[in-house]
Amino acid sequence: MSNVQSIERAFLLLEVLASDPMGVTDLSSRSGLPKSTVARLVSTLESLGAVRRADDGMLTIGAKIPELTGSTSSGPDLIARVRPHLVSLSRDLDEDAGVSIPDGYMVHYINQSDSDNPVQIRDWTGELIPMHCVPSGLVLLANWPKERVDRYLSRPLQRFTPNTVIDPDSIRDRLARIRADGYCWVYEEFAEGINSVAAPVYDREQRPIAAIHVHGPAYRFPHDEDASRIAELVKAKAAQVSSDLARLKE
């Protein structure tokens, strides 16, 4: 295989992975390349940070790609722009506020602003969590094309608590409500005793690139009468970040 051919094939694999996470076998089928060739190229791309392999073997675009393109959808630049809004939310609501980005079929929590409340939830920064059980993931799923959502829901969905919604039709109904409302509440679906609300952040092309969330202990967050007010506040902060990112690209 020539160097030029290797580059062409590596680029093809990245194009395929940009659409969906998948294993080596599916990547071979979708790209039309032999499995042995795919495995060899993926190994090289993985060592360079261009591809990331999850614990379950699923492959996704690695952090090096957005880093090279200067993307504002991940890494320090996004954190720098979101951080003041997280601090404002955690101060105003007296609960922890964070930001996450999509990572294949997971959400990757990349930063959090802690409240001064003496009883706090743990810091989830650095964690990868399936999209269907947290509001940050659900607001991103709600903005995906139908075909991609269908592929996500065709997989076995893990139940984390008795409240975790794993029925595909129920999730589709929920995503429709999220599109109408612009935010999502989750009540003890990923971890018992934790409630959370999130809203999506968009880039200039209105693609969902991140989510802002606030979470707190279920016994105090939210007070029933405050749920809508809190959600609208989070939604407004996410809209401000989206507007900031759009102006940045002008």
Mean pLDDT of the chain: 88
Looking at the structure, tell me whether residues 115 and 209 fall in a common domain.
yes
**CATH number assigned to the domain comprising residue 236:** 3.30.450.40
How far is 218 from 96, CA to CA, in rounded Å? 13
Sign of CA dihedral 14, 20, 23, 28: negative
Looking at the structure, tell me whether residues 228 and 124 fall in a common domain.
yes
Looking at the structure, tell me whether residues 9 and 84 fall in a common domain.
no
Looking at the structure, tell me whether residues 86 and 111 fall in a common domain.
yes
What is the pairing mode between strands 208-217 and 194-202? Answer: antiparallel
**CATH number assigned to the domain comprising residue 30:** 1.10.10.10
- Reply yes or no on whether the pLDDT at 250 is more than 80: no
How confident is the model over 182-203, as pLDDT tens digits? 999 999 999 999 999 999 999 8
Looking at the structure, tell me whether residues 122 and 145 fall in a common domain.
yes
Q: Which of 68, 101, 121 lies at the terminal end of a domain, its last residue?
A: 68
Q: H or E segment at 37?
A: helix 35-47
Looking at the structure, tell me whether residues 235 and 192 fall in a common domain.
yes
Looking at the structure, tell me whether residues 64 and 95 fall in a common domain.
no
Residue with tokens 């030029």: 4
How confident is the model over 112-162, as pLDDT tens digits? 998 888 777 777 788 889 999 999 999 999 999 998 899 899 889 999 999
- Print the domain residue range for 49: 3-68
Band of pLDDT at residue 74, cut at 50, 70 and 90: low
How confident is the model over 200-230, as pLDDT tens digits? 999 888 889 999 999 999 999 998 778 999 9
**Burial tier of 50 (Cβ tally within 10 Å: 0-12, 13-18, 19+):** buried
Return the closest-CA partner of residue 27 out of 47, 48, 57: 57
Domain count, the chain: 2
- Reply yes or no on whether the pLDDT at 53 is more than 90: no
More confident residue, 125 or 76: 125
Three-class SS string for 96-112?
EEEEEEEECCEEEEEEE
Sheet holding 194-202, edge to edge: 128-130, 106-113, 96-103, 208-217, 194-202, 184-187
Q: Which of 16, 37, 68 lies at the terminal end of a domain, its last residue?
A: 68
The string of DSSP codes covering 58-98 is: -EEE-THHHHHHT-TTSHHHHHHHHHHHHHHHHHHHSSEEE
Looking at the structure, tell me whether residues 91 and 127 fall in a common domain.
yes
Band of pLDDT at residue 238, cut at 50, 70 and 90: very high
**How many C-alpha atoms does 72 have within 13 Å on its Cβ side?**
19
Return the closest-CA partner of residue 25 out of 59, 62, 63: 59
Q: Which of 39, 68, 97 lies at the terminal end of a domain, its last residue?
A: 68
